[in-house]
Amino acid sequence: MRTFIRTAWSFVTGFLPLALCAQVPPIVLPQASPEASVEQTVGLTQMAIHYHRPAVAKRKIWGGLVPYGEIWRAGANENTTITFSSPVSIEGQKLAAGTYGLHMIPTEKQWTVAFSNVSVAWGSFSYDPKEDALRVAVDPEKAPFEERLSYRFEDPTDKSVRAVLRWEEVAVPIRITVDTPAVVVESLRAQLRGLPRFSWQGWNAAANYCLQNGVNLDEASTWADRSVSMNQNFTNLRTKAGLLEAKGDTKDAADLRAKALQVATETDMNLYGYQLLGEKKYDDAIAVFQKNVKNYPKSWNTYDSLGEAYLAKGDKKQAADLYGKAMAMTTDDAQKKRISDILARIKA
């Protein structure tokens, strides 16, 4: 039988071109350690870890399958990789944007985490410490059992996150921080070379981000000026005023805020009032909404907003009177129903 099979195979391959026989693809089967990826954005910085997930499979992992004191691929198959779209700090040490091979040296106490400039290696077999971009020390933690190795980005904020390896009963956290305002400023400069440069909104949004975060104030002032030159309005005049005040020029800032109020629309004032309301500056919000009522006495929405401000302050009588006026003026049935429900709660 074996002779027959060999003869038959020789017969078949004898009629196949030699090049085709050499290019027959391998059979694709499930991997023992399946491929996985995890991603996270911090501010504007995109991060990703690409790895393979070995199983415990009743084996001794730490100090066994993964020896202590030896370099480890931090996963299975190819080396694990970690990618950052902008510069970051790892455990307080700076690391440039890029993709790195992620390797670890486990011990019973402290672990070493290595970020290699070579990210295309098979495992850690060709790992060379001379190719490291960075090494940091981290402390492993006791954790609930996990059968398969995993990576997660945990506790994200707009400036930081923890990349955590979890396997068996061990968690290895790596603290990553980002200078998000610096990254955003660089992004804003690039964005203002594109379509946003043709609108006052683009220049104002960029300037206002810097104002709110207290960064890049000089350049932001030029952006605010550019916005005002394109379309002077309540929004960008207030942004420019805020930048002047942040730089110590309180007199010109006050003059600009007064000018902004002169050109404000009903919508501008309404949004400004709600901003103050969100900051719990109830009296300031009431003053803004009162000005809107005076300027736009035929708008039901101005009475509705002023009523909300008085209600937030705790003056139910004033709130009820104003909500009553708003309900009498509006022709929108949905708004009538909403206001009626509010009045019912006030009087309850």
| Domain identity same for 259 and 170 | no
Report, as an integer, the average pLDDT of 327-335: 95
Q: pLDDT tens digit string along 201-243? A: 999 999 999 999 999 999 999 999 999 999 999 999 999 999 9
Q: What is the pLDDT of residue 289?
A: 94
Q: What is the mean pLDDT of residues 129-150?
A: 97
Give the per-residue pLDDT at 21: 53
pLDDT in tens, 271-322: 999 999 999 999 999 999 999 999 999 999 999 999 999 999 999 999 999 9
Range of the domain at 245: 179-263
Assigned domain for 16 exists: no
Q: Work out the mean pLDDT of the chain and round it to a whole number.
A: 92
How many CA within 13 A on the CB side of residue 302?
Answer: 18
Co-location of 173 and 205 in the same domain: no
Q: Name which of 183, 205, 185 is nearest 47 in CA terms.
A: 183
293 within some domain: yes
| Last residue within a domain, chosen from 178, 205, 234 | 178
Residue 161, pLDDT > 80, answer yes
Amino acid at 144: P
Structure tokens at 29: 């089967």
State the pLDDT at residue 27. Answer: 87
**pLDDT for 28:** 84
Does residue 169 sit in helix, strand or coil? Answer: strand
pLDDT tens digits for 186-202?
999 999 999 999 999 99
Q: Which two tokens stand for residue 153?
A: 């980005």
Say how far apart CA 324 and CA 302 lie, in whole Å.
Answer: 12
Asked if residue 21 is part of any domain, the answer here is no
Whether 183 and 70 share a structural domain: no
**Dist. CA 40–CA 95, nearest whole Å:** 17
For the chain, first and last CA: distance in Å?
Answer: 94
> What distance in Å separates the CA atoms of residue 138 and residue 102, rounded to the nearest whole number?
14
The total number of structural domains in the chain stands at: 3
Which residue would you say has higher pLDDT here, 261 or 23?
261
pLDDT level of residue 20 (50, 70, 90 thresholds): low
List, for residues 114-130, the tens digit of each pLDDT value.
999 999 999 999 999 99
Structure pTM?
A: 0.81
- What would the pLDDT profile of 33-64 be if each residue is shown by its tens digit? 899 999 999 999 999 999 999 999 999 999 99
Question: The CATH number of the domain where 186 resides is what?
Answer: 1.25.40
Which of these three, 233, 263, 293, is where a domain ends? 263
